[in-house]
Amino acid sequence: MRNNKDSSPHISRRVALTRTAIALGVAAAGATVTDASAQQKITPAAAKYQDQPKGQQSCAVCVNFQPPNACKFVQGTISPSGWCLLFAPKT
Ligand code: SF4
């Protein structure tokens, strides 16, 4: 048998405060994860990085390229002649 205390339309002040605290905690934890992930780069292998261009696509013409040899999203030394799955052309 299920206890339906929380489904009552009249929740106690304690329950309301507890729910608010949990919601704020989850929101704060989410913000922390987002901040951390925004600063992390993925590995070249995860991005399927290669040292050669793919057709007309290369790091030199990718919006994520950071001259002379870095990328906003991929770790390590990035060749201007390279390419990966995250390629996005400069406009
Ligand atoms: S193609 Fe990939 S590795 Fe190269 S700059 Fe763009 S996102 Fe970075």
Q: Yes or no: say if 60 and 79 are a contact pair by the CB < 8 Å rule.
A: no
Best residue among 71, 79, 81 to mutate for probing ligand 1, ranked by most atoms within 8 Å of CB: 71
Per residue in 5-50, pLDDT (tens digit) is: 444 456 565 544 445 444 444 444 444 444 544 569 999 999 999 9
Give me the amino acid identity at 45: A
Structure tokens at 90: 């400069």
- Ligand 1 in reach of 71 Cβ (< 6 A): yes
Confidence (pTM): 0.62
- pLDDT in the model for residue 10: 61
The angle at the Cα of 22, spanning 16 to 27, to the nearest 5 degrees, equals 125
Using the mean position of ligand 1's atoms as its centre, give its distance from the Cα of residue 65 in Å: 6
Which residue has the CA at smallest separation from atom 6 of ligand 1? 87
